Structure 1
Amino acid sequence: MPTVDTLFCSGGICTLDSGATINTAEARVVEAHLAQGNVIVKTSDSDVLTLLSPVRWSSNRSLTLQTDNDIQLFGGISASQGKLIIDNPGHDYQLRKPVNLSAGQNFRVNGEDFTVITSLGQPGSTTGADLQGISGNMSGNYALGSDIDASATSNWNSDAGFYPISTFGDVDPFTGKLDGLGHVIRSIRINRPTFSYIGLFAVLEDASIKHLALEDFQVTGKSDVGSFAGVAEGTTRIAQSCVVGGSVTAKDQSAGAYFGERLQDTEVTDSCILGTSIIANEMIGGMVGLESDGTLTVVKSYAFRLKLLDNDGDPNFIGFLAGGSNAEPPVVSHSLVNYQNASLVPSDVTGATTLRLIALGDLSNYQDASWDISTDPDSNSLWYLDQSYDHPAPAMLRMFDLDLTDFLYDS
């Protein structure tokens, strides 16, 4: 079997030299061993394990990445049949490119199994094996193995669209984890103007969502309407996730790009909202419509080019983060918002830097907020400021395949 100086393989265990990374040569060695059997790649000490080159395999073998430190999946993973196992208890894993996996029990993180989803499913699905089917197991852990085109939902359920993930006929909360693995769910349609608790999920409770982008969601409900969820309860965490474009409409009240209403504590880190229209009679918020309790903590995130509108021409309780609040003031740090002109400077974002539209493509604004960002397409920074467009574009998480043409600044 092949080997290289920095990676010694024996009996399915490949040990990476101290300070070494998985570059092209090491990746080809790992792929060759995966063709024959399961492979464990581990560091010789407690180094960060960094994968800079993509690793691809088509066998049904498992790849385990093992270290007593963080794991950096910067090169991407693509396994048409195999399984990816992350083994670094007490530490994190970071993405810069998507992880592509086949559907099934093909992702494990520190002993927790995730069901990998690659399809939208059908109306009424409770399989626990597709996006709509998450309704069949509301406490499970899920990961996306590919992008999902949900445009077919516009014709579902007599044009009512996608059914917010919950126990059908009830509003049980989702209490599990959803890891998008750098993927995008596109074009979900939900048109339920007489029902509340409307979003991808009806209710999140002590749940976590990360590495996920929602693009062009068109979501309409009565009250408590958001892209991620109608309501967030318990300690809900959103990390490295974005809502891009689309609209959120509450025919009554409480609409936000992330959540219609938030109860108890919610944490948002390294995330974004870009170009979303948010519409309601009152309680219209960029991130949350109504904060009822607890604290909203926002770190290194942005809300750009939002359209905050009302249904009847008499807006009440509008804010860039929250439309209305009975809770503690948001705790915001190293974050950015933008406004159209001097009369529209948001009043509820103490701790964030306010920018004009023309400044969204200025690298220095992100650097001043201590973001991990670069204009280099080959960098391994978390955020990428793409300067190849004809006009200035805002930053985006590098892991997502998103076209920002509709969100450029053009004077």
Structure 2
Amino acid sequence: MDEIDVPPFFICPISLEFMKDPVTVSTGITYDRESIEKWLFSGKNTTCPVTKQVIVDCELTPNHTLRRLIQSWCLLNASHGIERIPTPKPPISKAQIIKLLDDAKSPQQQIKCLRRLQSIASQNVTNKRCMESSGAVEFLVSIVSNNDSTVAEESTIDEALSILYSLQLSEAALKKLMAKNGDFVVSLTRVMQGGSYESRVYAVLLLKSMVEMAGPMQLINLRPELFVELVKVLCDQISQRATKAALKLLVYTCPLGRNKIKAAAAGVVPVLINMLLDSSEKRACEMILTVLDAVCGCAEGRLELISHGAGLAIVSKKILRVSQVASERAVRILLSISKFCATINVLQEMLQLDVVTKLCLVLQMDCGYKTKEKAREVLKLHARVWKNSPCLPTYLLSSYPA
């Protein structure tokens, strides 16, 4: 194709490649279907790449005339090694999806329907959006929510959750799932309690997407059972994706209301400390320390941290070793302990574990103004106990705040 001139209107404005399935958007510009779908749906853009106008209607109209021109041009230039592009398979229609869902009455028909939905969703993003607007989401949710009935066998729930996650639901659909008094969150929690490993992974991934769209009041009302299951996901290490999703869920939810107390009661602190002992990955350490910081905002969380044999040591160790974010979170945790749990035993332990030494080093390093201020606050709080201690290296005495 490099040896001959390709008509410019055969080229997609986004990919700058030959169009195989030209479609026209509401602004009148034609693109290759794969490229514009990725732009609109995966990239969550709302404007036409060429005209910059807002695309109000995301429906893509096949440009049959242009496709036939491209196919004819390919045939005429077959001697140059140009292959004719095949006629693309038309996207699924709303009526077809509705009929498929209406016919799924019995358990056997539901299983067939799920397999067909999986196939439809895997073809292109347009099909996914069509499924979302045709009631497929509600159908899949009903299967997951009825997981205590004979209809919802484990494999059926696995498949329904897999399709729900693969649909890459829009913000509106995710917000709708979070509404309804949190019923679907309860259903997903139940799946996490007794479902297969695969179901548990999809449940926690879906929950993460939903929580990202939720309002503060919805997150404040989350049940304690959810935190218990998130801690189990972290303990079981069922997959890296599930672990990261569970950590993100805790990052979003723990700072709100009594969620930090629910998380502490679920045993999150010792689990996070053990993960921190084994983790060297930057983002994972940052998230773990962020959750620990939030949970140490309650007495139960702080007690769990100082009761763990490695709690203070590993938090201190991560200062100046991971990132500025991790250092700030770790110093915040130490500040919480210093303010509310400063028994003589805890203060002596902080000396022996070189926590005080690390805080003095923070004042000498370039690690952010907020982190330095918090470190200075901790050192000032207990200057009487720490400043003249033989455990503190003499070369750091000059940096100890007055």
Report the TM-score when normalising by structure 1.
0.34
Higher strand share: 1
Higher helix residue share: 2
